[in-house]
Structure 1
Amino acid sequence: MSSLINRSFSMVSNGLQQKTAMNGQHMESSDNPLKVFVLAKKTINEIFLDINAFVTECQQFVKDVNEEVVTRDQLTRVDSFIDKVVGIRDVLSRDHMKVAFFGRTSNGKSSVINAVLHNKILPSGLGHTTNCFLQVEGTDEDEPYIVVEDNPNTRLNIESVQDLANALKTESMGDATLVRVFWPKSKCSLLSDDVVLVDSPGIDVSANLDEWIDKHCLDADVFVLVSNSESTLMRTEKNFFHKVNEKLSKPNVFILNNRWDASASEPENQELVRKQHLTRDIDFLSSELNVVDSNEAKDRVFFVSAKEVLQSRLQSQPVNSNAFPDGFQLRYFEFEDFERKFEQCLSQSALKTKFAQHTKRAQRLTSELNHILDAIQQKSSQMMTSKCEQRKELMDKLQFIQQQMHLLTDEVKHQICHMVEQVEVKVSSALTEEIRRLSLLVNDFDRPFSSDCLVLGVYKKELHSHVERGLGSNLRARLSSALSCNVESAQHEMIERVMNLLPPSDQQKQFNYSLNPRQNFEILYRINCESLCSDFQEDLEFKFSFGLIQMIKRFTRSDYKIKDAKSLPSTAPQTPSNSEVVRTTALDTDALALIDRLSLLSPQSHTTVGVLGVSAFLVRTIGWRLIAITASVYGLLYIYERLTWTNRAKETTFKRQYVNHSTKKLKLIVDLTSANCSHQVQQELSSTFARLCHLVDEVIVDIQTELKLLDEQIQRLDDYSNISRRLKNKAIFLANDLNKFSDDYLNIESH
């Protein structure tokens, strides 16, 4: 038995030497439960970093989404998620495993903490009673320091902790005041694993237990009740943990019966005392607090000597067995067993208390975001389907309008051409008819006539106007009403055909544009007689109707008319009678030539020369008596005509000459006038159809603009749908990460 104890003591000594060589740090192992918390904290922080980026992206996306797709409530909810994630990340960055040590005064709470930390950090020993809360946590800095709660911006050296926390000092702080002790992580591996140890004043010297619990206990993961093994659990200790149990759901409580080394002086009663303490402690945990069952409560009660463990861990040399009372090795092993079990419990408890709620909140958050994104995607898809249907309807309408307008344009062109031809024929026919009746129009002109040059000039000017007005009035009476009706009918037909192509809203737009055909359309015939007959020269000199020259000219014109009518060369045989006619004709031709030469010599004596010529001719043919009778009759006729050559006769002659001249001129412009009138009709119909085409083009442009807008909206909705789908996939990935985190770290019982 003694050899076994010596071997065990040797093993403890070697272990202590190894720990001393490692600057008092715990030997790290791959199955260290505290490392699980550190890894879990790193993992959950990385997940929440992704969640933060995801929520930020969702927030920006929802802000960019059209108000028709996303509701105000959805936008508000997504905005609130940002604050929630930021708050959770802030809490996670400060989350740590917290162990709170409580007990009556001088039960060795500070010694237990120092033993766990392998360093004498907190003041302990005779007279060193803690009068405030001391929180030991790790720092990445090389030198330790302390910070008082009342003055967080001021750092104090580590030696000040004895002055601040010692109850023997006259200037003591309040018992609920927190003093944070920052110890380098490089000197203590436990602190590097995000463990925070809290030392408290004795619960038997303060009445502020509720304040303690609210301020320092609500976020604790493990409570360690340090009791004195030389006495039993006191009512004060039990009352405190009953209060803790009321505010926390089944807190993790360990009971350390400290100063168990005193039992070495009474080995005969050691087992009995241990059994009594163990029974009372188990009953307190399982029956009174009801935090664990009786079997599990056995693993929550330990009998240790913190002072021995601290001394052994502070020695740089191998432990001398004679320096400690009997049973040191067992007490040391039990303290290590306490450390192992409380670390395991601490890690499991911290994982659940620190991360479980945050994980559930993150799962609810990602689930809500997934529902919002799904609603946005469905709304986008529905709106995109509706927009696509609208676009198809608009495209069909646009194609229909364009096709029908193409066909209508061809029909209107043919209709206008046909109408133009009809107008041209009607105007030409009517104008020709009016030219034939020009003499009646000229005879209707009743103005004083005089052969005086000045008066005659005014007379001709007024006659031009009269003829121009008369022709225009007659043409309007014959044509304008029918032509205007035809034009207006064609215009109404165009408008009706075009309006039938467009929807009612666009038809109303046409009325707003006053697309009715022009009222009282009238063709302008533009017959400018003054310009047309500007070269007219009247001949008002007296000319005897039966004068030789007038007769010859008359016969000559008749002969020309006959030749123009027949336009055939003479092929009659040369009979005697014909020879005589030919000779007579030759004679007449010689006589006419002689008369013409005589008339050229004396233009003022045409009649006299004519009479002489005829007389000479007749004397030779028929005799003097007949000549005398004929000359008498001829003279009487001449005298009659000369006496009747009055101003009225001159006016009649003037009008006849004017009619002849105007007829020739007007015949020249029949085609031009009819073409001009047909062009006016063409212009009127073409301009009406052009206005219709312009309005149709505006409607087409509106449709194309609406199509472009629909295309942009469809593209935007498609982007919304795609982005929503992508973000939903991210939400699923994050949910999987959270589920995996729960399976790996939170659902420990299932493993």
Structure 2
Amino acid sequence: MAAYVNRTISMMAGDGPHNVATLNNGNVRVNMTNVDSPLQIFVRAKKKINDIFVEIDDYVKDAVTFMHAVSGEPGIATAQDVTNVEGFVDKVQAIREVLKRDHMKVAFFGRTSNGKSTVINAMLHDKILPSGIGHTTNCFLQVEGSDTDEAFLRTEGSTEKQNVQSVGQLGHALCDTRLQECSLVHVYWPRELCALLRDDVVLVDSPGVDVTPNLDDWIDQYCLDADVFVLVANSESTLMLTEKNFFHKVSTKISQPNIFILNNRWDASASEPEYLDQVRTQHADRCVDFLARELRVCSAKEAEERIFFISAKEALMTRLREREKPVSSPILADGHQIRYFEFLDFERKFEECISQSAVRTKFAQHSRRGKSIAADVCAVLDHIYTNATELKAAKVEQQRVLHEQLSAIEEQLTSSTRQMKDKINRMVESVEHKVSLTLSQEIRRLSALVDEYDQPFRSDRAALDAYKRALHRHVESGLGSRLKKRLSSDIGHEMDEAQKEMAERMYSILPSGKRAAAANYIIPHQQPFEVLYRLNCDNLCADFQEDLSFRFSYGITALIQRFQGKHGARLALKNPPNYTPLPATISAAPPALATPRSAGPLSAEEWGMVSKFALGAVTSQGTMGGLLLSGLLLKTVGWRIVAVTGVLYGALYLYERLTWTGAAQERLFKRQYVAHAGKKLRLIVDLTSANCSHQVQQELSTMFARLCRLINEATTEMDDELMDVKEAIKLLEDASTSAKKLRNKASYLSHELELFDDAFLKNN
């Protein structure tokens, strides 16, 4: 016995710094500390994995926010991706809720009155659950830590706090209003009063396995999440079939449950010390055989480490004494120190086992799920990062192409503008020359146009004015139609060709994507070009004054004028004319009578004197001159010749006078009109050609300006598109950067879970 005691004390002293035992004169002093308790592994693991899942929760929420931000951009994230990541938020929240409730759970089972409640009280260092004679637990009692200093209990399905002292009535088999066997009562005890509860250990007391056949219901409700099972047996007997059957059912639903067997009431062996070793060996062999061979939950060697012979009552009394609480029976049987040490050994191994088991069963699955969530979110973010990177590369290429297109359009537009301006200037000059030449030709053919006018002619003033107005319209219409016929077709063809060339040049400048939209806009108009001009003969010839008085063609004045005109022409070839205004006395004469100052056989003064003399000869005022001239002629050529000449001259005069009819007057009128209109029209040749060239210039410039405006609109759209591309590049860059950071954070979280596995799971 002494050797066993010494071995047990040495074992307790050497197995872990948290239990220190000394033996002084048969008295045992045990110093307990919880600084390095194995239960702290679970506590640290729970805190660590909770911290990791807080980060995972923030990470998933950040990922969802990011996904919503980029979901509006096509091609980055699909609606299904957003839905998938949003689903992880609820999953992480559920895991966090489970982690908050995760604790180390140990369930105590055994036959009725085997001391399950007493064992729990001894482990809690206080008499919390009812125990002792007549105190048979009738329902499940779950003892767990409370964050307050208040001790209370709640029945299943109720939130009402009840006095913890009422647990004696609720869980007592002798109570009249007892609960059902499968009912659960939560007993909350302040954590600060018990190290086990402070370390998140939950202890579940149960009715005897021999009181009900509903073992399957018990297992389903209270055993599936238990980390350790403690079978409290009665060392005064042996393992019963009901106990074995219960754990056989447990092993079918839980893979390799952690089972400890406590042979309680071992203090009874003190009365028969001669059979102590034999009974102990018998009980130990049967328990090892049950765990290793029947249940196969561990090896035989491991089973030996999970079988203990204790006295829960003695352990509770010892601990109550340490806390200086009154004890009903202070007398302890011989060997109680050894049994107490073995109880301590059970607690140590139980703590190691439940901590390892709880860390593995509670957190391993959460760690795997955390890695899976991080990997799934990382895969989505990696896909988003790839999409954003590819889209960014495409947008950068699009930006480069737009820059090149804008530069090319600017260069081509500058070159085309210079060429088109040169072409417009050349065409304007060509049109001006062509209009001037054509109009001059038509003016020379004006007499034919006037001759075509065949309206009745009368010399009275009213009829003559109406005739002139009609002739104005005829000349304007005829001359205009001839000019239109000769000019509009050629100039219109040139205009169409020029506009077509402009359109094609501008069409080629536009980028291919803009050509289809501009095709209907930049083609030249389909209406034929017409040269617009107005001769306006009414105003142009408004100062025309006809002279329809009869003049003999071979009168002295006419002959002198003809003769003077011939000499004037010859003199004009020799000397440039220098016209001077006519005297007021002859200002009404036709323009042809203007006298040039020239040198020749007769001076200008001499011709003037001759003219005056001739005129005087044929007027009443010049009778004396005529007589002198007649006398001179008679004396020179003879009277016969003069008489014959006079007769012929008079016959000619009479003929012209008789033929001076309305038709002759019309011919004279038309000759005078042609001379006057031709002179006036020649004055507007330059103006008309300039107007026509200006029309052509205006038409081409307008067309070119419209085409340039179209190019400007296209470049404006391209500038806007370029701005959109730049903004898209920035958004994609931000998206790729954020996706990369979140993806890297997923790797960081996975690494944190790997470190958690290395620290808490792989060594267990």
TM score, norm. by length of structure 1 = 0.89
Q: Which amino acid aligns with 1:679?
A: H
Show the counterpart of 1:57: 62
Segment drifting more, 383-392 vs 432-441 = 383-392
Match of 1:608 among 620, 629, 648: 620
Match of 2:139 among 125, 132, 135: 132
Secondary structure in 2 matching 1:115:
helix
Show the counterpart of 1:365: 373
Show the counterpart of 2:762: 747
Maintained 8 Å contact 1:308/1:324: yes
Secondary structure in 2 matching 1:8:
strand
Secondary structure in 1 matching 2:230:
strand
Q: CA deviation at 1:154?
A: 1.2
Maintained 8 Å contact 1:449/1:456: yes
Show the counterpart of 2:52: 47
Q: CA deviation at 1:607?
A: 3.8
Query: Structure 1 residues 311, 616: closer, same or farther in 2, change over 3 A?
Result: farther
Show the counterpart of 1:22: none
Q: CA deviation at 1:179?
A: 0.1
Q: CA deviation at 1:720?
A: 2.5
Q: CA deviation at 1:725?
A: 0.8
1:1-42 CA distances to partner (integer Å, 9 max, x unpaired)?
A: 7999996267966547xxxxxxxxx6321x211122112111
Show the counterpart of 1:333: 341
Secondary structure in 1 matching 2:186:
strand
Maintained 8 Å contact 1:517/1:688: no
Maintained 8 Å contact 2:320/2:326: no
Show the counterpart of 2:698: 683
Show the counterpart of 1:268: 274
Secondary structure in 2 matching 1:191:
helix
Match of 2:159 among 135, 138, 153: 153
1:304 aligns with 2:310: yes
Query: Structure 1 residues 177, 49: closer, same or farther in 2, change over 3 A?
Result: same
Match of 1:657 among 665, 672, 675: 672
Q: Which amino acid aligns with 2:455?
A: R
Q: How does 1:479-558 map to 2 (within 5 A)?
A: 479-502=487-510, 506-513=514-521, 515-551=523-559, 553-554=561-562, 558=566
Show the counterpart of 1:673: 688
Match of 1:736 among 751, 761, 764: 751
Query: Structure 1 residues 15, 615: closer, same or farther in 2, change over 3 A?
Result: farther
Q: Which amino acid aligns with 1:660?
A: A
In structure 2, stretches of 5+ residues that fail to align are: 10-20, 579-598
Secondary structure in 1 matching 2:534:
coil
Show the counterpart of 2:350: 342
Q: CA deviation at 1:464?
A: 0.6
Segment drifting more, 457-466 vs 512-521 = 512-521
Q: How does 1:57-456 map to 2 (within 5 A)?
A: 57-63=62-68, 64-65=70-71, 66-150=73-157, 152-315=158-321, 316-317=323-324, 323-456=331-464
Segment drifting more, 214-223 vs 430-439 = 430-439
CA distance in 2, matches of 1:566, 1:393: 76
1:339-382 CA distances to partner (integer Å, 9 max, x unpaired)?
A: 11111111111101110100011111111222221122222223
Q: CA deviation at 1:507?
A: 4.2
CA distance in 1, matches of 2:480, 2:27: 140
Q: Which amino acid aligns with 2:233?
A: S
Q: CA deviation at 1:270?
A: 1.3
Secondary structure in 1 matching 2:23:
helix
Maintained 8 Å contact 1:547/1:610: no
1:257-277 CA distances to partner (integer Å, 9 max, x unpaired)?
A: 111111111111112211111
Q: Which amino acid aligns with 1:407?
A: S
Maintained 8 Å contact 1:548/1:607: no
Q: CA deviation at 1:554?
A: 4.9
Secondary structure in 1 matching 2:202:
strand
Q: Which amino acid aligns with 1:52?
A: D
Identity of aligned residues (%): 49
Q: CA deviation at 1:111?
A: 0.7
Query: Structure 1 residues 583, 79: closer, same or farther in 2, change over 3 A?
Result: closer
Q: CA deviation at 1:482?
A: 2.1
1:271-329 CA distances to partner (integer Å, 9 max, x unpaired)?
A: 22111111211221222111121222222111111111111211245999983111111
Query: Structure 1 residues 506, 95: closer, same or farther in 2, change over 3 A?
Result: same
CA distance in 1, matches of 2:682, 2:234: 146
Maintained 8 Å contact 2:28/2:337: no
Maintained 8 Å contact 1:304/1:335: yes
Query: Structure 1 residues 502, 237: closer, same or farther in 2, change over 3 A?
Result: same
Show the counterpart of 1:576: none
1:369-397 CA distances to partner (integer Å, 9 max, x unpaired)?
A: 22221122222223333343344444444
Query: Structure 1 residues 583, 655: closer, same or farther in 2, change over 3 A?
Result: closer
Segment drifting more, 490-499 vs 510-519 = 510-519
Query: Structure 1 residues 585, 215: closer, same or farther in 2, change over 3 A?
Result: closer
Show the counterpart of 2:596: none
1:459 aligns with 2:459: no
Q: Which amino acid aligns with 2:275?
A: N
Maintained 8 Å contact 1:130/1:167: yes
Segment drifting more, 244-253 vs 692-701 = 692-701
CA distance in 1, matches of 2:530, 2:493: 10
Query: Structure 1 residues 355, 667: closer, same or farther in 2, change over 3 A?
Result: same
In structure 1, stretches of 5+ residues that fail to align are: 17-25, 571-579, 599-604
1:230-262 CA distances to partner (integer Å, 9 max, x unpaired)?
A: 111111111111111111111111111111111
Query: Structure 1 residues 612, 217: closer, same or farther in 2, change over 3 A?
Result: farther
CA distance in 1, matches of 2:162, 2:302: 43
Show the counterpart of 2:14: none
CA distance in 1, matches of 2:153, 2:287: 35
Maintained 8 Å contact 1:595/1:609: no
Secondary structure in 1 matching 2:161:
strand
Q: CA deviation at 1:99?
A: 0.9
Secondary structure in 2 matching 1:104:
coil
Query: Structure 1 residues 540, 336: closer, same or farther in 2, change over 3 A?
Result: same
Secondary structure in 2 matching 1:171:
coil
Query: Structure 1 residues 187, 678: closer, same or farther in 2, change over 3 A?
Result: same
